[in-house]
Structure 1
Amino acid sequence: MTRRDGLSRTDLPVTLRDRAVVPGDSRYASLRSTYTTQSSPAVVLLPESEAEVAEALRFAGGTDFRLSIRSGGHGLSGRSSNDGGIVVDLSAMNAVDVVDPDTRLVRVQAGARWARVAAALEPHGLVISSGDHGNVGVGGLATAGGAGWLARSYGLTIDRIRAATVVLADGRIVRTDAEHEPELFWAVRGAGDAVGVVTEFEIEAVRLDTIGIAQIAIEADRGGATLRRWSEHLAEAPRELTTNGMLLANGPTFVLQLTAVVADGEPDRIRSLVEPVARLGVRTLALEAQLGPYSMLVPTAHLHPNLGQQVSTTTNALFPTLTDDSAGALMEVAAQPGSPLVQLRSLGGAVNDLDRSATAYSHRDQEVLAVLSTFPPAGIGQLSAAVRPLWPHAEGAYRNFESHPTDATFERAFPGAVGARVRALATRYDPTGLFARAR
């Protein structure tokens, strides 16, 4: 290994020099950071093929620079950039192809963003449940889980993946599916960042022309009964319904602001599913609904460069159906002075159809994902203290919504035997620990 004070184009293999962006280049300002972190890498590499990704990994493996892999989107955890190291940015590998409209097989490169995917699929009447913002990158989400707008209807994004192309740490390019390299395929769906760089996915989309989208605001009581009723209702609701929202303090009053998505285009069916949700709180504050294509949720208007414009620190927790105690703990977090932003996502339904051993994401018996974020000047210490009431009730965590990964957060995301299997596969496919430098 070599160590240098910095990197220039002349340090790179000839084949990568035209793909390199270094400090001082006109594009560097728009490529240096993620949405949530401001960073200063030594070089950003923009490969355009699996062969160039392999060359970039072989080069990085010959140094001891920190390595970050980026699919081009938000990078909420902040791990897709760094200070002084190498960033491999896949945003130039962004093709979206409908391979077979009849079987709904879609080939998506990892550098695409979900707004572009939705726009490409819309003329075919197809959708893939994705992240909740159009600027989210495909690769980062589709190797961790993908608890999107249609999760209860069609499962996580990883549940629809049928094959993937992976570049391993030694530069080998492998196509993996249920029959070819099945252990790698298992790891790619939930712990992909541990075993390789996934450059392309084959995903089975679903046929869905129109959805219902409702904005619902309800007053939530301080004790947590509203949150418990919301969780209990969603645990038993028809699978067409998925809700994601934010818990906001407004003086002494709390508001649960929800976006409810119905995987159905019939107005009466939409009304029958969203109106009961509006009655779960102390009182209904707002209810508006409309019909539209899936792209309304992740429009191309969401696309933007990531400049560190929303610096934040994030952690998360998974829960079974909320009880008085766990709902009360969430309200305790929301009620603190300078409290974290509390986002709540409904899981269950199709997410929990798979056996917990089917993918590296193993939390197939959880119903609620709580994502908690603080903003400057608050940092990880203040966030950790604020969310402490949740841990006695939480039963896992989601890999992507964690700004400061540690052994403890790894165990929450990959508990017990699952974590041991992930670690073993990381050693098998990345024996030198190249990808560990990205975490």
Structure 2
Amino acid sequence: MPDYGHDLRFGSFITPQNQQPELAVELAVLSEQAGLDLVTFQDHPYQPGYLDTWTLLSWVAARTERVHLSGNVINLPLRLPAVLARSVASLDLLSGGRIELGLGAGAFWDAVEAMGGRRLTPGQAVEALSEAMDVIRGVWDAGERGVLKLDGTYYSVHGAKRGPSPAHDVPIWLGAYKPRMLRLIGTKADGWLPSLGYAQPADIGAGNKIIDEAAVEAGRDPREIRRLLNVMGSALRGPVAGWAEQLLPLALEDGVSTFIIASDDPRAIHTFAQEVAPALRASVAAARDATTSALTGTATRAGSGAAAGAVRSPRALAARRPGIDYDALPASLAGVAVEPGDRAYDSVRSSYVWAGSPGLVLRATTPEQVAEAVTFACAQDVPLAVRSGGHGISGRSTNDGGIVIDVGAIDGVEVIDRARRLVRVGAGARWGDVAQALAPHGLAISSGDYGDVGVGGLATAGGQGFLARSYGLTLDHVRAAEVVLADGRIVRADADEHPDLFWALRGAGGNMGVVTSFEIEAAEVGDVVFAVFVHDATDTAAFLEKWGRLVEASPRKLTAFLTVFPGQADATVLAQTIVTWAGDDTDAAVTALEPFLELGPVLQQQAQLAPYAALVAPHHNRHRGQPRLYGHSALVEHLDSAVTTLVAGMFAGGEVTMFQVRSVGGAVNDTAPDATAYAHRTQNFSLNVVLSTSRRAAAERTWQRLDVAAIYLSFESYPDDALLAKAFPPRTLDRLRRIKGVYDPGNVFRHNFPISPVVGQQAISDDGSHDQAS
């Protein structure tokens, strides 16, 4: 049989004995430290000498950071499929996408029956396993509308709620030897997991033939199915130096791509990881380079554009979109590519609010992969979107039919100089995770008002956070950025290197390149005072004016955010104020907070001392698109009668579903207007209005009467050339066009709010001189 072209992986198969319960855990930790990719455990729930495998997997997941985990294989007859699906998804979410599912149809039926399981014949067990897989995948498919209903002979669900979805596309591997089970693998499963010893090398080839034939009959490409193998120590002969040579034919001739050493000997595990795995990888790589696979021309051999992780079924191939040369995708991106028709597609196609249908999502894990993704995207005739991985409402991080470069996996957080409070943050991180990582150091970065907001989008657009009046905007404290340019170069931008680019990134970064990481100066912040007030704001205009005056008069340590929305009773309007006092001086905080009780009838109030990280806790929500929000923004100096009267009228007319005010005065306005591309430094408030869908036309006309002079692009739903003059003053926009002409003359990054490049002219540097960037 041919080499199926999968990347090689190596793992351990550990006995979950309970005489020394810590031993199995330590062997798992050793497996990770030694460099193995996978740790697996037997699952025999009827065996009193064993730990419960699922409990052990959960414990090991908490003790490890990188290695993937699986049962080898999970005993289905004693585990209800719908509950097992939720267990797998939950542990996968908690572990950061490190759980795989090996399943077995069942054996040792006397013991199964003694534990309360149902005795099945071999044929019945195969049918039950097939039904169970449908239940498990149905529960995982939280993006599917409606409840789950499946009527099976052995497993049925009648209206089960779907979800949660796992953090990654969890494969289902089956342990199997008989033809019926092998055909089921070819029809439905993602992998075959036999053991060398129970099966001989000749049996592997025969089993592959059955699996491949069943896959083709089911309309699948056989290369969709990974071939795994438990390797018993007794199955390998001679010194360790010869083990890789013995395993090589299994990789090249039988397509085995995951080798799992079955041993509880720490020396064997370490040797397998440190000696056998590297040697076998090198031999397979050399053989693949030297030999043209029989699959060349159909989806090609390993190392080409559709290698290993990019194998797609005929149905998936049919879902590909025009304008994208999928076969030209670099090999380094094949494993991170998600196409329409892939099971992971629904989890990456949309943003938080906007549903999308891109033709290709590239989930880059390194700056180099981002550079390759940009180069590839430039050669295609489709739109390009860049996603930092987090929550956002503008909708510009997805598209229809185009390419999305998702940097969500570049999410590291590192304090690189505590004395200078300097932090390096990956652009794909979410701010809630950043806050948690910085909390032990007594540091914080003001960064929006929701923990799932992505770092990249916010830090290049502005960053109106809970500490804004004491700290400023997020981008005001960016000290450097690593950027992938339109031509594929990776550069550092700071005050000394590419200063013109550095200036532009802070306010218009989405038009200049793909930022992969930032160096940001954090603030000394530990605990803060956090308060919430809910008022009856039915007298909307008067309430808003008083609220605005109070906030402007408050000390800089106080930052207030306001959300106004229709109440349930007729004509009532409610207002929720969130106030953050940037410090733990409760007496000073109370003095500043008490006036909020006088703004109107108080329906609810609370205040507490809390870590800043608790205010922006990470949620890690799955982004599947919601009903689209139609909204607008405005930056205003005061909540004067012109603003408040108009907003009150919109509530009275049912034209608005939500109105928000973020205070952005204080430290935000300490930065000079020309210091960054975010030039609006006189306003005290950022407004965001969400329009009623049913009355959208009337609401648009009303909002336009406000005739705002400045906006915040992150809260605008649609790109519009006319908005650029309000987002960027004339001198700022002129400078941005010149800088874009240097760094993106081909206008690759044009699917944000469009800043057209001025090509052939020099860019103006920070000091006003001319600087032609290289």
Same fold at TM > 0.5? yes
**After alignment, is 220-229 or 25-34 more displaced?**
220-229
Alignment pair present for 1:405 and 2:719: yes
Alpha-carbon distance between aligned partners in 2 of 1:24 and 1:377, rounded to the nearest angstrom: 34
Residue 387 (str. 1) matches residue 742 (str. 2): no
CA distance in 2 between partners of 1:224 and 1:42 (Å): 47
Q: Give the Cα separation in 2 of the matches to 1:396 and 1:369.
A: 9
Residue 109 of structure 1 corresponds to 426
Unaligned ranges ≥5, structure 1: none
Equivalent-residue separation in structure 2 for 1:383 and 1:95 (angstroms) = 42
Residue 415 (structure 1) shift? 2.1
Whether contact under 8 Å (1:339, 1:386) holds in the other structure is: no
Change (3 A) 1:437 1:405: closer
One-letter amino acid matched to 1:279:
E
Counting helix residues as a fraction of each chain, which structure ranks higher?
A: 2
Separation in 2 of the partners of 1:310 and 1:148?
Answer: 25
Amino acid at match of 1:437: H
Cα RMSD (Å): 1.8
2:743 paired residue number: 429
Aligned residue in 2 for 1:77: 394
Residues 39-188 of structure 1: matches in 2 within 5 Å? Answer: 39-188=356-505
Counterpart of 1:285 in structure 2: which amino acid? Answer: L
Distance change >3 Å, CA 306–CA 243, structure 1 → 2: same
After superposition, give the CA deviation of every residue in 1:220-259 in whole Å (9 maximum; x if it has no partner).
3536122112112211210110111211233333222111
Q: Which digits, 9 at most, give the CA deviation of each residue in 1:320-374, with x for residues without a partner? A: 1122222212222232224241111111010000111111111100011111123
Aligned partner of 1:415 among 729, 735, 744: 729
Match of 2:531? 214
Q: Which amino acid aligns with 1:407?
A: D
What is the aligned length? 432
Is 2:621 the partner of 1:298? no
- 2:721 aligned partner, one-letter code: D
CA distance 1:223–1:42, change in 2 (3 Å): closer
Between 221-230 and 208-217, the greater mean CA deviation after superposition: 221-230
Distance 1:333 1:48, change over 3 A: same
- Whether the 8 Å CA contact 1:32–1:41 is kept in 2: the answer is yes
Are 2:692 and 2:699, in contact at CA under 8 Å, matched by a contact in 1?
A: no
> 1-side partners of 2:642 and 2:414: how far apart?
47
- Mapped partners of 1:266, 1:28: distance in 2: 48
Match of 2:578 among 259, 277, 285: 259
Q: Secondary structure at the match of 1:213?
A: strand
Answer yes or no: is the 8 Å Cα contact 2:337–2:361 preserved in 1.
yes
Using the TM superposition, name which of 271-280 and 244-253 deviates more: 244-253
* TM-aligned CA deviation for residue 34 of structure 1: 0.3
CA–CA separation in structure 2 for the residues paired with 1:8 and 1:288? 57
The range that moved more, 368-377 or 59-68, is 368-377
> Alignment partner of 1:268: what SS?
helix
- Paired with 1:415 and 1:101, the residues of 2 have a C-alpha distance of 37
User: Is 1:347 aligned to 2:664, yes or no?
Assistant: yes
Q: CA deviation at 1:378?
A: 6.3
| Contact 2:511/2:752 (<8 A) preserved | no
**1:128, 1:243 → 2: CA distance?**
16
Identity of aligned residues (%): 44
Contact 1:9 1:17 in 2 (8 A): no
In the TM superposition, residue 314 of structure 1 has moved relative to its aligned partner by: 2.2
Q: State the TM-score, normalizing by the size of structure 2.
A: 0.54
**SS of alignment partner, residue 371 of structure 2:** helix
Q: Structure 2 CA distance, aligned partners of 1:357 and 1:228?
A: 30
Change beyond 3 A, Cα 1:378–1:199: farther
| Deviation at residue 375 of structure 1 after TM alignment | 6.0
Structure with the greater relative contact order (CA < 8 A, sep ≥ 6): 1 or 2? 1
Q: Deviation of residue 96 (structure 1)?
A: 0.5
Q: CA deviation at 1:206?
A: 0.7
1:9-42: CA deviation from partner (whole Å, max 9, x where unpaired) = 4231222112211112121111000011111100
Change (3 A) 1:136 1:336: same
Per mean C-alpha deviation after superposition, the further-off stretch among 312-321 and 130-139 is 312-321
Poorly superposed stretches of 4+, deviation over 3 Å: 6-9, 374-379
The TM-score with structure 1 as length reference comes to 0.94
1:307-322 matches, cutoff 5 A: 307-322=624-639
Please state whether the residue corresponding to 1:214 is helix, strand or coil: strand
- Report which of the two structures shows the higher radius of gyration computed on alpha carbons: 2
Select the residue among 573, 597, 600 that pairs with 1:278: 597
AA of the residue aligned to 1:263: A
Equivalent pair of 1:152/1:241 in contact (CA under 8 Å): yes
> Contact between 1:96 and 1:120, CA under 8 Å: does it hold in 2?
yes
Q: In the alignment, does 2:680 pair up with 1:366? A: no
How many Å apart are 1:376 and its aligned residue?
5.0
Provide the rounded CA distance (Å) in 1 between the counterparts of 2:640 and 2:492. 44
Residue identity opposite 1:95 in structure 2: G
Deviations 1:36-65 (A, max 9, x none): 111110000011111111111111111221
Shift of 1:8: 6.6
2:584 is aligned with 1:287: no
SS of the residue aligned with 2:647? helix
| Deviation of 1:276 (Å) | 0.8
Q: Distance in 2 between matches of 1:383 and 1:195?
A: 34
Q: 1:383 to 1:49 in 2, by over 3 A?
A: farther
